[in-house]
Amino acid sequence: MTDDQSLPQLDSENQDEKSSHSSLRRVLFDIAETLILALVLYFGIDAISARVRVQNVSMQPTLYEGEFVLVSKLAYRLGEPKIGDIVVFHAPTEPGEDFIKRIIGLPGNLVKVENGKVFVDSYRLNEDYLADNPNYQGEWIVPQDKLFVLGDNRNQSSDSHRWGFVPVDSVVGRAVVVYWPLDKFTVLEHPNIVSADRQ
């Protein structure tokens, strides 16, 4: 009688143990599934966008030091660079570093800076985003597969007027949003800045 009465209790313990192992397997599977999904999302997002921290004053007052910017890596796979675009690119003068500047000249353009104004193919640029007008002068013809870029803080920017042109294939992408700090959240506009007025 005693042996017969203990059998249901043993069966119950075996079922509890199986249930416990099954629950543990399910938890481990859920964790693995979540990690895989997170990695897929991370690398997927990383393939189409970049996050960049502004590290100097060269783009003030448009961008300030310490702000974080979301960059579209697909922008120039799906379209073409335009004058006025803010872009991130691998710095020609500092290997391993990225710069953020505004496109002023495209391949074939003649860029001229004179009397505090910037002209592209004799058309004056409307640049109401500038900190100050440039206090330098110069003239550049943009080669094929290159871009001419300037910082919005013209007189405190290391850019094309100092070291030359940016290879198109070194462009990471177009800056689209300031996302941090939250109170500085801004969608970055890329206006048509070429005036109808000729020099």
> Tell me, what's the pLDDT at 5?
53
pLDDT at 6 over 60: no
| Span of 106-120, 135-149, 180-194 with lowest mean pLDDT | 180-194
pLDDT at 9 over 60: no
pLDDT at 146 over 70: yes
Distance CA 116, CA 125 (A): 11
Q: What percent of the chain has pLDDT over 70?
A: 76
Is the CB of residue 161 less than 8 Å from the CB of residue 113? yes
Q: pLDDT of 63-90, one tens digit each?
A: 999 999 999 999 898 889 999 999 999 9
> Tell me, what's the pLDDT at 50?
80
State the CB neighbour count (10 A cutoff) for residue 71: 23
Q: pLDDT of 22-57, one tens digit each?
A: 777 776 766 766 766 555 544 545 555 588 899 999
Q: 193 falls in which pLDDT band (50, 70, 90)?
A: confident
- Looking only at the bridges linking them, the beta strands covering 117-120 and 171-180 are unpaired
Distance of CA 87 to the CA centre of its chain: 8
Catalytic residue among 12, 20, 49, 58: 58
pLDDT at 60 over 70: yes
Catalytic residue among 49, 82, 101, 117: 101
> Tell me, what's the pLDDT at 44?
47
Distance CA 151, CA 137 (A): 15
What's the rounded mean pLDDT across residues 99-109? 97
> Tell me, what's the pLDDT at 65?
95
Known catalytic membership, residue 58: yes
Is the CB of residue 103 less than 8 Å from the CB of residue 89? no
What's the rounded mean pLDDT across residues 121-139? 92
Global pTM?
A: 0.77
> Tell me, what's the pLDDT at 3?
53
Residue indicated by tokens 């506009």: 189
What's the rounded mean pLDDT across residues 10-14? 57
Mean pLDDT of the chain: 84
> Tell me, what's the pLDDT at 96?
86
